[in-house]
Structure 1
């Protein structure tokens, strides 16, 4: 938002904000939900389920894992909104597993076991 000579103009951000903590993401997501459900009221339950899933992931695997999952999910949902509902988890997303520990995820397609996401399976 830009204000000049008493006139307020909205401008499109060049890049989506990056969150460094689950707390920052959570605050922004609550704002998003408040706006989104005005147009899609039937999605409120699915959005709350998604928020809880991200919160659980942040608690169990850390903020970076949760934020990486959210980023991958939203990118996929932007391309295929009807095929990627808010309330269905996608464990095939590759999370940031380079923390010196063994990753809990196989990173394989759930349908054919290939090295791609299930939604990309042909």
Structure 2
């Protein structure tokens, strides 16, 4: 979602960098500097997303409005960024199963992210995680895009979304 707000960033911040890793030259994409940490910024990005998405799926417009309402309600109910993590994980699930409704609350994610008062406490160094859903191929969005995950018991794999190695995507050499 933060990529949708990229027009507010100087263009040279997104240029890839040439780095030396393991004795080899590699092209590393710069991490996205535009981050969403408030519901107001998220809403702006989501309106842009809705505009783009509804060009291909106009029948989903009402669902997306309901989804925005759900996320804004989540932001009111929790004092941390649980609403943001809910949104990220929900959209990852939508990428796997695009036929599901945007207007339906994912109760598992809601319980994990919105009702979790320990969300901002650092229980996990980011190098290891308790993966209670070992049969899942879902990867942790917080680990990949923020570099670490603060969940006491994260249900998602702490591996790179791009190459499945043990680093986050923001440091992926590929």
TM class, shorter-length: 0.5 to 0.7
Does structure 1 residue 23 correspond to structure 2 residue 40?
yes
2 CA distance for matches of 1:63 and 1:44? 28
- Is residue 54 from structure 1 mapped to residue 71 from structure 2 by the alignment? yes
Distance 2:49 2:63 in 1: 13
Q: Which residue number in structure 1 is paired with residue 83 of structure 2?
A: 66
- What whole-Å deviation, never above 9, does each CA across 1:63-112 have from its counterpart, x for those lacking one? 50110100110111111112x32011012112153159xxxxxxxxxxxx
Residue of structure 1 equivalent to 2:105? 89
Contact 2:82–2:119, Cα closer than 8 Å, also in 1: no
Q: Structure 2-normalised TM-score?
A: 0.46
Shift of 1:15: 6.2
Please name the residue that 2:60 is paired with. 43
Write the distance in 2 (CA, Å) between the matches of 1:37 and 1:70: 18
Structure 1 residue runs without a partner (length 5+): 4-12, 101-114, 117-122
TM-score by length of 1: 0.64
| CA deviation profile, 1:32-75 (whole Å, cap 9, x unmatched) | 11111111110000000000000011011135011010011011
SS at match of 1:56: helix
Task: Quote the Cα distance in structure 1 between the aligned partners of 2:92 and 2:117.
Answer: 19
Q: Contact 2:39–2:72 (CA<8 Å) still a contact in 1?
A: yes
User: Shift of the alpha carbon at 1:14?
Assistant: 6.9
**Cα distance, 1:18 vs. partner?**
3.7
8 Å Cα contact 1:58/1:65 also seen in 2: yes
Instruction: Name the count of aligned residue pairs.
Output: 94
RMSD: 3.0
Q: Describe the SS at the equivalent of 1:92.
A: helix
Structure 2 gaps, min length 5:
1-6, 12-28, 121-131, 134-174
Runs of 4+ in 1 over 3 A off after TM superposition: 13-18
Specify the SS of the correspondent of 1:19.
coil
